[in-house]
Amino acid sequence: MRSVLALLQFCTSLPLGRPVAFEHFARRSYLYPLAGYVIGGIAAGIVYWIGSAAVGAAVALALVLLLSGCNHFDGLLDFGDGLMAHGSRERRVAAMTDRATGAGAVAAGIVVTLVAFAALQDAACLPAAILTAEVLAKVAMSYLTTLGVPFREGIHSYFHGFVRPWFLIPTTLLALPLFLLPMPAVSVALALVATAGIAAVMLLLARRLFGGVNGDVVGATNEITRAGILLLFALL
C-alpha cells in the first residue's frame, strides 16, 4: 500500500496525507497504470453526467490535467522546446532543461491539447475513452521508465535505477481490465498496440535528439499517448 500511496502522491494532486518516500514506488514503477485508473476514473465519473460532447471533452481534459497537477504537461512543454531547438544535441538539451518557456513549448501544448479535445468529442463513449486513454498514458510512462536510458541525473534516472526488464509484463497486465469497459475489444487491443508504438517512437526520438530520456520526455509521453489514443478512437 505504501507503493500505491507513493505513486498517487507523485502522479496526482490529491490530498493524501503525510508524504511517503518515493522509493516505495520507484521499486515498483510497473504500478503506473493504477494512477491512470484513479485520475481517469474520477474524470469519467464526472463527465458521465454531462450531456454535451464538447463540454464533456473540455471538462474531462481539464480534470486529468488538474488531478495530475499538470506535472506531465510541464514535461510536454519542456520537450516541445527541446524538439524545436536548432543546433547540436547539447543545445537541444539546454533548451529542454532550462526554466524558460519558448515557442516550441507553446506549440506542443496547443497541438496536443487540441488533438485530444477534438478527438474526445467524437468518442462513442466519452467516459470510457478518457479512462482508457489515461490508463494507457501511464502504461507508456512505465515503458519509458523501464526502457529509457537516462542522459542525466534526475527523477527519471532515480526511477530507472530500480527497474527490471520484467516490469513491462505487470504494467501491460494492469491494462487488461480496460477490456471490461463498454468499448469494442478490438479498439482496446489496437489502443494497446498504439501505446507500445508511441512509446517506441518517443524512445527513438529522445535517443536521437537528446542522447537518452529524462523526466520531461517521460511526462511528454504521457500527454502525447493520451492524445494519440483519443485520436485513434475518433478515427475508429
Q: What is the model's pLDDT at position 18?
A: 81
Reported confidence tier of residue 32, pLDDT bands at 50, 70, 90? very high
CA gap 119, 116 in Å, rounded: 5
Does pLDDT of 17 surpass 80? no
pLDDT digits (tens, 9 = 90+) for 95-120: 898 887 888 899 999 999 999 999 99
CB 186 within 8 A of CB 52: no
Confidence category of residue 227, pLDDT binned at 50, 70, 90: very high
Percent of all residues in the chain with a pLDDT value above 90, rounded to a whole number: 71
- Among 175, 182, 179, 192, CA closest to 229: 192
Question: What does the pLDDT read at residue 76?
Answer: 95
pLDDT at 186: 96
Task: Grade residue 94 by pLDDT with cuts at 50, 70 and 90.
Answer: confident
Question: Distance (Å, rounded) from C-alpha 83 to C-alpha 60?
Answer: 27
Residues contacting residue 228 through CB under 8 Å, at least 6 positions apart? 194, 198
Using the 8-state DSSP alphabet, how is residue 15 labeled? Answer: -
Beta carbons within 8 Å of 155's beta carbon, 6+ residues apart: 215
Contacts of 193 (CB under 8 A, 6+ apart): none
Number of CB atoms found within 10 A of residue 110's CB: 11
Lowest-pLDDT range of 28-42, 72-86, 190-204 = 72-86
Domain boundaries in the chain?
2-235
Q: Which of 64-73, 82-91, 109-118 has the lowest mean pLDDT?
A: 82-91
Confidence of residue 216 (pLDDT cuts 50, 70, 90): very high
Top mean-pLDDT range of 11-20, 21-30, 90-99, 219-228: 219-228
Residue 6: which pLDDT band, with cuts at 50, 70 and 90? confident
Q: Identify the pLDDT of residue 187.
A: 95
Q: Label residue 170 by pLDDT band (50, 70, 90).
A: very high
* Per-residue pLDDT, 61: 96
* pLDDT computed for residue 56 by the predictor: 95
pLDDT band at residue 226 under the 50/70/90 scheme: very high
pLDDT confidence bin for 235, thresholds 50/70/90: very high
Give 217's pLDDT tier (boundaries 50, 70, 90). Answer: very high
Residues 41-58: what's their mean pLDDT? 94
Per-residue cell: 224: 502525447
